[in-house]
Structure 1
Amino acid sequence: MKRLMLSWLLLTSLMFGAKPELMLLQEWDGQDVSGWLMSEKMDGVRAYWDGQKLISRGGVELAAPAWFTEGFPPFAVDGELWSKRGDFETIISIVKKKEPHDGWKNIAFYAFDVPNENGGLIQRLVKLEYYLKLNQADYLKVAKQFTCKDNDDLKRFLTEVEKGGGEGVVVRNPDTKYVVKRDPNSLKVKSFQDAECEVVEHHKGEGKYKNSFGSLTCKTDDGVMFDIGSGFSDAERKNPPAIGAKITYKFQEMTKGGKPRFPIYMRIKEEI
């Protein structure tokens, strides 16, 4: 039995691998970020290139075709698999398939850090940019970084991104090292916050939706219950998230009672 258990553990580790240790973002609380670097927060799939293969945040080796990763560097790169704004469902459908396929031609790997390189963020990215000048990697790109003049400049950039359908902005201190935890020197900036909850009940709609799905009740991990009735497409109202499904929603702020104010459905939460 002990030998069987060890064999099963070995097989599991080979199938899924260890989760990569990644830098995670904190929420911007209004602090001064003058001189920091800002970039668009891509609404794609986080991935880690370990020098040989692409791994998801959850530790799954992604089935990227050999031609997709051709020319990728022999060192680690942290980034996002992305195509364009508002295309998350397409991106996730491409990368979650178990076999390589031509759908990968529609996305690219956008690098925003080189974790094991010394120096600040600019120095780390310079190493990758220099490598790409000497080596052709058609599907590896460096995410554009802009210097933030002051907090008003950050708000202007955020407005520009969100008006264009983008998710938000990432702002990072260029002088700090890459750390594998939630980092106060790496911040996400959005007009809306987002979170996850579990669907517990469906409700019929009113008005134009009186004969179909109208809203749902969901529950957070803390047991807080609330309803979400907006953000659903017509297709999603015909086929709403199943009871028991985990979904992602966005909201403006919390009420005094601890519920999200003006929650809006975004998508089913997909884990890779």
Structure 2
Amino acid sequence: MKLLRVLLFYCISLSAFANADLMLLQNYDNQDIRGWVMSEKFDGVRGYWDGKQLISRQGQRLSAPAYFIKDFPPFAIDGELFSERNHFEEIASITKSYKGERWDKLKLLVFDVPDAPGDLFERLNVLKTYLNEHPTPYIEIIEQIPVRNKAHLYEFLAEVENRQGEGVVVRNPKAPYERKRSNQILKLKTAYDEECTVIAHHKGKGQFENVMGSLSCKNERGEFKIGSGFNFSERENPPPIGSVITYKYRGLTNSGKPRFATYWREKK
């Protein structure tokens, strides 16, 4: 029976669609996390390996060179393409290159094996077993640390931020991999950030008369404008309509809209 489940898992992974939905995080807001685990949230580019190719969060094929993926497993793994902290722009530039240059600087830091059976640790152990027989310097499994209590969680957050890390991911290890925004995996940061889709550009005034002054975007919170956080170059060449951007904010208004939304960057 166990062998049958493993074989079924391999078949499901190999038939995964390039634009398969991924497990996405919600915000930590004092939820009950007894029995959960935590790990650093790495500020890189999402990389989903479907057993044959690397795919971005938007479902686009990433042009990873043959040497990078030659020992990747024949089943799906989900993670973050990463090099080092505070190097997001360089990471994004590498993953966008069609020439496959500088990929030797990156690793796929894996946080789940989506189609494997069992809980999180059992799923990750499938990859660990594979890597023991097919070692590669380009895959690393992210350590999952059991959370003792909320004080432990915030102590870990402080450690991560002191190392210039982005934040912490806390998740229920007994939960399955869900291809949606899940309340079983949460992010915790000092500053909030979310994503939205650009739906309109608005001409500026005064010093921004000839460039974009603000943009409108939309997500599950509705439609709202963002007018700050852009440098002049970004106002001259704003994120295209239809693109996904990340913004920072300081809590929510009474109507549920982000308060003091500030542009951070375009989602890669």
TM-score normalised by L of structure 2: 0.79
1:74–1:258 distance in 2 versus 1, CA, 3 Å? closer
Stretch of structure 1 that moved more, 185-194 or 255-264: 255-264
1:22–1:155 distance in 2 versus 1, CA, 3 Å? same
The alignment-based identity, stated in percent, is 41
Task: Give how far 1:196 is off.
Answer: 3.0
Stretch of structure 1 that moved more, 219-228 or 102-111: 219-228
In structure 1, C-alpha distance between the alignment counterparts of 2:119 and 2:109, rounded to whole Å: 19
Task: Give how far 1:257 is off.
Answer: 5.7
In structure 2, C-alpha distance between the alignment counterparts of 1:54 and 1:195, rounded to whole Å: 22
Report the equivalent of 1:48.
48
Report the equivalent of 1:33.
33
Task: Give how far 1:137 is off.
Answer: 0.9
1:67-125 CA-to-partner distances (Å, cap 9, x unmatched) read 101221122111111112222211111111223x3310111111111111111001111
1:118 is paired with a residue whose SS is coil
Task: Structure 2: give runs of 5+ residues left out of the alignment.
Answer: 1-16
In structure 2, C-alpha distance between the alignment counterparts of 1:61 and 1:260, rounded to whole Å: 32
In structure 2, C-alpha distance between the alignment counterparts of 1:43 and 1:267, rounded to whole Å: 12
Equivalent AA in structure 2 for residue 256 of structure 1: N
Equivalent AA in structure 1 for residue 261 of structure 2: P
Task: Structure 1: give runs of 5+ residues left out of the alignment.
Answer: 1-16
1:73–1:164 distance in 2 versus 1, CA, 3 Å? same
In structure 2, C-alpha distance between the alignment counterparts of 1:165 and 1:261, rounded to whole Å: 25
Structure (1 or 2) with the larger CA radius of gyration: 1
Task: Give how far 1:26 is off.
Answer: 1.9
Task: Give how far 1:164 is off.
Answer: 2.8
Q: Are 2:88 and 1:88 aligned?
A: yes
Equivalent AA in structure 1 for residue 237 of structure 2: A
Count residues in correspondence: 243
Report the equivalent of 2:194.
194
Q: CA RMSD in A?
A: 2.7
1:141-181 CA-to-partner distances (Å, cap 9, x unmatched) read 11122111111211222222233322221111111222222
2:68 is paired with a residue whose SS is helix
In structure 2, C-alpha distance between the alignment counterparts of 1:202 and 1:157, rounded to whole Å: 42
Q: Are 2:166 and 1:167 aligned?
A: yes
Task: Give how far 1:237 is off.
Answer: 3.6
In structure 1, C-alpha distance between the alignment counterparts of 2:224 and 2:120, rounded to whole Å: 39
In structure 1, C-alpha distance between the alignment counterparts of 2:205 and 2:42, rounded to whole Å: 33
In structure 1, C-alpha distance between the alignment counterparts of 2:248 and 2:22, rounded to whole Å: 24
In structure 2, C-alpha distance between the alignment counterparts of 1:45 and 1:244, rounded to whole Å: 18
| Structure 1 residues 29-178: aligned runs within 5 Å | 29-99=29-99, 101-178=100-177
